[in-house]
Amino acid sequence: MNLTHQISPFDSSVNARLQRMGLLQDDSSPHEKAIATFARLHAAIFFDDLCDCMEVEKSVRSLVLTYESYLNAGEYHKLFVLYSWQYDTMHLPFPAAVWWIAGTRSLIALYMKYFVPALAELAATTAFDDSGTEGGDAGYF
């Protein structure tokens, strides 16, 4: 595939891309309900990735507390960078759909306002077994 230009969430095409994804409305304002759903979905994927890679409840919950402290301090951009770095740490690709919001500060803030509480809820309500790994009858992938 030959690209005719550099593709980046910081270029002029980003609003059109985010509108096609349903994250921005026609007037370029955030589509809050879509972002809330998008963030919840990615929080669940991220949580599963954390459990697969960390395998210890204490580590997962400690990371969630760090995310909550950044959220409470209004450090949305730093939180987003930490989130992307965590994928690097796990040797997993950062979700492309999430990457596209990186150039839009208002979307980063709104995304994180929904993402972190969803992640915290998952950490608080997931049953871990005595070894500190995620448990359940079906096992973990």
Give me the pLDDT at residue 12, please: 74
* Cα 42 to Cα 64: distance, rounded to the nearest angstrom: 14
CB of 15 closer than 8 Å to CB of 24: yes
The residue extents of the domains of the chain are 25-125
Is pLDDT at 67 greater than 90 in this prediction? yes
**pLDDT digit string, tens, across residues 123-134:** 998 876 555 445
List pLDDT tens digits, range 19-45. 999 999 999 899 999 999 999 999 999
Closest CA to 21 of 93, 83, 101, 77: 101
Cα atoms in the 13 Å half-sphere on the side-chain side of 11: 6
Q: Taking all residues of the chain, what is their mean pLDDT, rounded to a whole number?
A: 85
Cα–Cα distance, 57 to 61 (Å, whole number): 6
DSSP 3-state percent helix, strand, coil across the chain (nearest 5) = 60, 5, 35
